[in-house]
Amino acid sequence: MPRNKRRIELVTEDERQFSKRARNHVSSRRIARDNSAFTQRRCVQLFREYTVPTEPDTLGPEGMEKFCADIGVEPENVVMLVLAWKMNARQMGFFTLNEWLRGFVDLQCDTIPKIQAKLDYLKSLLNDYNTFKSIYRYAYDFARDKEQRSMDIETAKAMLKLLLGKHWSLFSQFNSFLESSKYKVINKDQWCNIFEFSRTIVNDLSNYDVDGAWPVMLDEFVEWLTSERQAQPYRS
């Protein structure tokens, strides 16, 4: 993946199979316990296993794929977003040495087994409302093209699916709305309000205030969904 490519990519079938085998390999055995004391030196050495001599302080897309395979997690798994948030990583697909140390010093991880042992903990952070909200907000600046102020719609849909797809009952309808809408980008105010909408507005839209301070995008979504339901009254 070239450095200037920000958009979330669909992995090939071969890559999926490779990642699946890696996960099966991890799950088929008990993760080795590593009770050795954390050292920053060993943490740096681990980082260097995924970088190239020409850019020793930057872990790029190829190194990221190898790292994900080693820990048994697909690159598009939400746990990788949580890990990036822990590091406060700036750019999707890349970790700098400083970001790596920020995250793994906090997690006290300097070996692959130690990182594997923290995966469930990282996933559990999504269960806390305030932490999830922080990760959701972080995802906007993390995933958008840094040369643009807004996030392109394809990246936005992919990130919304990753974060809200399993937890928002109206996600599939909202995704369909975006696909049929005029919107080509999503700005940060819209992004943040989508989260608030997903957490506060019930499925039948009965608590939606038409005079509220929602962005026009969400007013349009409510109008679109209401029209869809009237046209197909038996559709949930």
pLDDT band at 210 (very low <50, low <70, confident <90, very high): confident
Can you tell me the distance from the alpha carbon of 116 to that of 118, in angstroms, rounded to the nearest whole number?
5
Kindly write down the DSSP assignment for every residue of 87-149, as one continuous string: HT-SSTT-EEHHHHHHHHHHHT--SHHHHHHHHHHHHHGGGSHHHHHHHHHHHHHHHS-TTSS
> Are residues 84 and 101 in contact, defined by beta-carbon separation less than 8 angstroms?
no
Q: DSSP label at 38?
A: P
* Predicted pLDDT of residue 38: 97
Q: What share of the chain is helix, strand, coil (3-state, %, to 5)?
A: 60, 5, 35
Binned at pLDDT 50, 70 and 90, residue 3 comes out as very low
pLDDT at residue 15 greater than cutoff 50: no
Tell me the mean pLDDT in the region 68-88.
Answer: 97
**φ, ψ dihedrals at 46, nearest 5°:** -65, -45
Name the pLDDT band for 30 (thresholds 50, 70, 90): very low
- Across residues 33-53, what is the average pLDDT? 94
Q: What is the mean pLDDT of residues 208-221?
A: 94
What's the pLDDT at 189? 97
- 151's enclosing H/E stretch is strand 151-152
For the cut 70, the answer to whether the pLDDT of residue 127 exceeds it is yes
Structural contact between residues 104 and 117, judged by C-beta atoms closer than 8 angstroms: no
How many CA atoms, within 13 angstroms, populate the side-chain half-sphere of residue 201? 21
In this predicted structure, the answer to whether residue 223 has a pLDDT above a threshold of 60 is: yes
Torsion sign (Cα): 51, 104, 160, 215: negative
pLDDT in tens, 149-201: 999 999 999 999 999 999 999 999 999 999 999 999 999 999 999 999 999 99
Q: How confident is the model at residue 6 (pLDDT cuts 50, 70, 90)?
A: very low
Q: Which string of DSSP letters, residue by residue, matches 185-205?
A: EE-HHHHHHHHHHHHHS-TT-
Domains annotated on the chain, with CATH: 13-127 (1.10.238.10), 129-231 (1.10.238.200)
Residue 233 pLDDT: 60
Owner of token pair 């260097």:
48
- Amino acid sitting at position 150: S
Q: Supply 86's token pair.
A: 């822990």
The 3-state DSSP class for residue 26 equals helix
The one-letter code for the residue type at 37 is: A
